[in-house]
Structure 1
């Protein structure tokens, strides 16, 4: 790990904690993003497991779920919120930062138009920092009139959106691309109830699918186009998707982990 500089200034003023600031500036670390409603989170145990696994892989140390619960609960209390968008970041030295912001709108997201780009994230199984490529391609997509970038290999195999997972409907099954990607918490919560499958999906395969949707911690939304190929919004499919998500029981952040359950 790079030794932090002895002195750092921000807008001409010395930083209060140079070591923490150096960790934040390193761009190396990972995070999870969650929606909190009435102090509860869908898939909270999955978020805690993600944080612990990635901390072990990047920094060789545990990150106990109980500690994360305390930090999130404390940040929510200090912000005076029960509903919020919360992110938990982990940096070198296992410095943990919690941010609390306005909650994302509930309910279906606006239909999305995507454009394919030749880019796969490094270490895609980790929700890591330093996502310059994702931001670059996502911003370029929006400037071109699209809502999101769709990440593909040079051969057109689809992995994920820049900040979402994507699924396709062939009339029988919900299909998630099997290429390396971040398996999102929302994706994980939907896979079982929707009886979905994972298999390779390429741009050349897209005309064979009847519908598509994207999902992340902030939204679930139908896809209406990928470049020049239009998709109809399958209302029956989207109804099933939203019903599956609504059926997930949220977990109380402040509640202790049950004996025998994952605390990660």
Structure 2
């Protein structure tokens, strides 16, 4: 997976970001966001992104967020010259009224093969507060992610004190038990890619369910994968438990995701 940190554009409420305008996002944590991969000026699951932003804005700031306004802001920042990009829509309320900051970076590119995408995860004793909100200020998950990378892993797997698994630091995780797909039922963020995949898997012949999943259960699964805005990746190792890449399963899961129509803003 290749990620560039270069920010191409930043706009706040449709205007180029200024130093004064960036003070609140830089110094205040209250806020939330959604992240999307834009291809050809289009995105998968736009309605889910807008619903996420509206629900979190209502919960955090007591006000709705108009979806068509957000669509227009994304169209405006992409203009006619950016077709592929990593886009983040941040919502703050510096004066009590929702304000939308959008950042545009180059797109994230996954390896072409599933073997090349395979991830290793280190379990860590941490669960996100208000896990159902994609909120800002996630020091714990970010720091544990960095500790995992220093230890030679690709990312962190968040767990409760009793070993119950909730989600990855920046991903959702699914486990295959040979017959059905298990999503951890512990508090977690329902990622957009996860929602799209979960909705399409039964029709593709893979039943899904939400159930308690623990570190002790890991050897009982035959395969695992993670989902994120950038797509679907198999998991090859969690701590000392290893998994072979199940090519058939991953072809099905990634196929379900890729068949979701891209929608213009």
Instruction: Give the Å deviation of 1:24.
Output: 3.9
| Structure 1 segment 55-66 matched on structure 2, within 5 A | 55-66=57-68
Matched with 2:29 is 27
Q: Report matched runs for 1:146-161 at 5 Å.
A: 146-161=153-168
- 1:22: how far off? 2.5
1:198 aligns with 2:234: no
| TM-score of the superposed pair, with normalisation by structure 2 | 0.86
- Could you tell me which of 196, 209, 225 is aligned with 2:221? 209
Listed as ranges, the matches of 1:61-140 within 5 Å are 61-77=63-79, 80-92=81-93, 93-105=97-109, 108=114, 110-140=117-147
> Do 1:24 and 1:91's aligned partners in 2 also have CA atoms closer than 8 Å?
no
| TM-score, with structure 1 as normaliser | 0.87
For residues 54 and 34 of structure 1, what CA distance do their matches in structure 2 show?
17
5+ residue gaps, structure 2: 1-16, 203-207
Please provide the CA RMSD for this pair. 1.5
1:117-143: CA deviations, max 9, x gaps?
A: 000000000000001001100000000
State which structure, 1 or 2, has the greater radius of gyration over its C-alpha atoms.
1
- Deviation, 1:48, is 0.4
Residue in structure 1 matched with residue 241 of structure 2 by the alignment: 229
CA distance in 1, matches of 2:228, 2:25: 27
The answer to which of 99-108 and 32-41 deviates more is: 99-108
Matched residue SS, 1:192: helix
